[in-house]
Amino acid sequence: MKPTSSRLDFMDAAKCIGILLVVLGHCTTFPSEGLLHRIPTFIYSFHMPLFFIISGFFLKPLPLKDSCCKYLKIYIKPNLVVTAIVMLTLIIESTINGVFDFKADVLDVALCTERRLGPIWFLYALFGTCFLYQMIYSCRLKTRLIIIAIAVALGTASSTYLTLPFHVQSSLFALVFVEFGRLMREKNLIDKVKHMPWYWYILPLLIFIFDA
């Protein structure tokens, strides 16, 4: 039981780091030049994929009906509350200023087709990704990878021409990270990383510094 506990502690630490990076990336102003201006790029390159990987690590197979009910409750229900508050605020503000726009202030917010809800978009994407992955959870690895490759291709192709509501395209892309999280658990990749040579840990930092 001890290794399992240790592994969960490791993932809890990863969640904490990810949350801190989200706050740092969205609430901090960085210089426009020098090494520090690369920090937002560094953060955005992995902080959201990190949460999808963690979700895949803990994802367990569920009947589709049960998974839908579960994900609606934990992801969509709080999202609807935030969406209603944001929408009401925008309607009041734009009406007072005489610039009310039904599409921008109501439709785009309701469908989450624009980032007016801020980072709350992530909950829609997480709902879609986890629910879609449940559909292929029992498939063999090779089959899952083929389906995920097709999903990513469809998401990439469609995003060139239109933005689907509720971040469906983000959900398709994120299937890759959920699959990686699952493989981390099943292939025991965390223990393998612990035994990597020390220089592999500083290599990303060196690339970040010299690429600035």
> What average pLDDT does range 14-37 have in this prediction?
73
- Tokens 């690369």, located at residue: 38
User: Taking the alpha carbons of 40, 41, 42, 48 in that order, is the dihedral positive or negative?
Assistant: positive
Predicted pLDDT of residue 209:
58
Predicted pLDDT of residue 4:
47
197: tokens are 């040579």
Predicted pLDDT of residue 3:
45
> pTM, whole model, 2 decimals?
0.81
d(CA 177, CA 133): 11
Q: Is the pLDDT of residue 6 over 70?
A: no
In this predicted structure, which of 7-16, 67-76, 119-128 has the lowest mean pLDDT? 7-16
Predicted pLDDT of residue 205:
63
- Tokens 């959900």, located at residue: 171
Would you place residue 11 in the very low, low, confident or very high pLDDT band (cuts 50, 70, 90)? Answer: confident
Predicted pLDDT of residue 103:
87
Q: Is the pLDDT of residue 48 over 70?
A: yes
Beta strands in 54-108 (DSSP E): none
163: tokens are 């933005």
d(CA 14, CA 5): 14
Q: How far is CA 200 from CA 49, 163, 197, 206, 207, in A?
A: 20, 38, 6, 10, 11
> What average pLDDT does range 63-92 have in this prediction?
92
Predicted pLDDT of residue 1:
39
Checking phi first, is residue 34 left (phi over 0); if not, alpha (psi -120 to 50) or beta? left
In this predicted structure, which of 3-7, 88-92, 101-105, 159-163 has the lowest mean pLDDT? 3-7
Report the candidate in 4, 42, 20 with the shortest Cα–Cα distance to residue 205. Answer: 42
